Amino acid sequence: MNKYESVIIINPSLEEEGLKSLIQRFTDLINTDGKVESVEEMGKKKLAYEVKKNKEGYYILFNFEAKPELIAELERNYRITDEVIKFIVVRKED
């Protein structure tokens, strides 16, 4: 398994409980075929440029281990989730 880091930016208008359930959903998805090492909620920050009519977003950082096949499924879920404004998944070097 490889180590990955994923940052997602979530719509700032999402309620606190909606945010928690979204984080739990992605954590459960990663844990199906990998292992979440940490989830860091970085808070609401101003975006460098407007994305989907939002000037700020709620940043969340996932550090995890997973098989490469899981990344495609994770990114597909990010794309179909309306609350996710932007995302990136990066493989960490050993």
pTM for this predicted structure: 0.89
| Closest of 93, 88, 2, 86 to residue 48, by C-alpha | 86
Locate all alpha helices (DSSP H) within 1-94, ordered by sequence.
16-33, 68-80
Q: Measure the CA–CA gap between 41 and 77, rounded to whole angstroms.
A: 19
pLDDT (tens digit per residue) in 21-57: 999 999 999 999 899 999 999 999 999 999 888 999 9
Q: pLDDT of 57-79, one tens digit each?
A: 999 999 999 998 999 999 999 99
Structural domains for the chain: 15-88 (3.30.70.60)
Tokens in use for 30? 């990663």
